[in-house]
Amino acid sequence: MSEESADLTPPQHIAIIMDGNGRWAKKRLQPRFMGHRAGVKSVETIVKRCIERNVAVLSLFAFSSENWRRPSKEVTLLMELFALSLKQQVKQLHKNNIRLQIIGDVSKFSASLQKQITQAEQLTIVNTGLIVNIAANYGGRWDITQSVQQLAEKVKTGEILPEDITEEAISAGLTTSKIPEPDLFIRTGGEQRVSNFLLWQMAYTEFFFTDTLWPDFNGTELDKAISSFCQRERRFGKTSEQLRDNK
Ligand code: IPE
Ligand code: IPE
Ligand code: MG
């Protein structure tokens, strides 16, 4: 791809699979939990850098619908860390004009964690800066399924017809319906897979993989991903010539 055809528009929405916490801890002969704790620090760093880079939405995969399969002690510690981080960070996020949103099936969380989530979302709902979208008990297949189920209910009541189940209608029922689709997807920790993250929403997202473990991921690393993104040509099915001639 030639330099001049590069898309220099920075990503509006960055979605990250924050992977590698466990291996980071293992390398230091520490329990996995220490890696998760160190990972929270990276979240703070990356949120700051996203604000500096004028990113509109940052989506972070914190806990997948498959992560319940981990040893129950790790799951409990992750839930506690989530609750503690919310408690410690919400005021600061609010001060920084950040809007916090949680996507995922939160009904599986404890009542107190659910309450904390609702309070954090309500407190920051008025904010107009960066949207931080935390995916917790999230699965891409779950998201699509719950959207289609809502539509099926409407078909049942006669509110809509089967042919009204369009791509737009399915998109409108997703947990991310109010935010743009991710422009750039980053996965740290060396694995090159999507692990049931934003499946529908990433149909045209640019992917960036790095071996850096999440607790080591920092502003410079984010900048590398952003500059890689800026050198790509997003064709959305068209040809380079069409893009150049604006057709
Ligand atoms: C990502 O790090 C955090 C969560 C999935 C909660 P991992 O815990 O998956 O770390 P690795 O992949 O085992 O190193
Ligand atoms: C994906 O990481 C989920 C999160 C980072 C929250 P995993 O470590 O759970 O993914 P797999 O199991 O290796 O695909
Ligand atoms: Mg992992």
CA dist 4 and 21 (Å) reads 38
pLDDT over threshold 80, residue 7: no
CA dist 214 and 42 (Å) reads 7
**Ligand 2 pocket member 64 (CB < 6 A):** yes
Confidence bin at 1 (pLDDT 50/70/90): very low
- Ligand 1 atom showing the smallest separation from residue 191 Cα: 12
Contact assessment for residue 50 and residue 58, using Cβ atoms and an 8 Å cutoff: yes
Which of 176, 152, 174, 175 lies closest to 164, judged by CA? 152
CATH class, domain 7-138+183-233, is: alpha beta
- Ligand 2 atom showing the smallest separation from residue 195 Cα: 14
- Ligand 2 atom showing the smallest separation from residue 22 Cα: 8
Active site residue ranges: 19, 67
Contact assessment for residue 199 and residue 141, using Cβ atoms and an 8 Å cutoff: yes
Confidence bin at 8 (pLDDT 50/70/90): low
**Ligand 1 pocket member 67 (CB < 6 A):** yes
**Ligand 2 pocket member 135 (CB < 6 A):** no
Instruction: Give the pLDDT confidence score for residue 16 in this predicted structure.
Output: 99
Can you tell me the mean pLDDT for 165-191?
98
What global pTM score does this model have? 0.96
User: How far is ligand 2, taken at its centre, from the CA of residue 178, in Å?
Assistant: 25
Tens digits of residue pLDDT in 27-70 = 999 999 999 999 999 999 999 999 999 999 999 999 999 999 99
Instruction: Give the pLDDT confidence score for residue 4 in this predicted structure.
Output: 45
| Ion ligand 3 residue ranges (Cβ < 5 Å) | 19
pLDDT over threshold 90, residue 3: no
Tens digits of residue pLDDT in 156-165 = 999 999 999 9
Confidence bin at 9 (pLDDT 50/70/90): confident
Ligand with an atom nearest the CA of residue 26: 1
**Ligand 1 pocket member 42 (CB < 6 A):** no
| Sheet containing 184-187, strands listed edge to edge, beginning at the edge strand earlier in sequence | 99-103, 131-138, 57-64, 13-17, 184-187, 206-209
pLDDT over threshold 90, residue 77: yes
pLDDT, mean over the chain: 96
CB atoms within 10 A of CB 65: 19
Q: Which helix (H) or strand (E) holds 207?
A: strand 206-209
Confidence bin at 2 (pLDDT 50/70/90): very low
Can you tell me the mean pLDDT for 187-206?
98
Which of 14, 19, 11, 13 lies closest to 193, judged by CA? 19
**Ligand 2 pocket member 195 (CB < 6 A):** yes
What would the two tokens of residue 95 be? 């001060």
In sequence order, what are the residues at sequence separation of 6 or more whose Cβ sits closer than 8 angstroms to the Cβ of residue 41? 215
Ligand with an atom nearest the CA of residue 82: 1
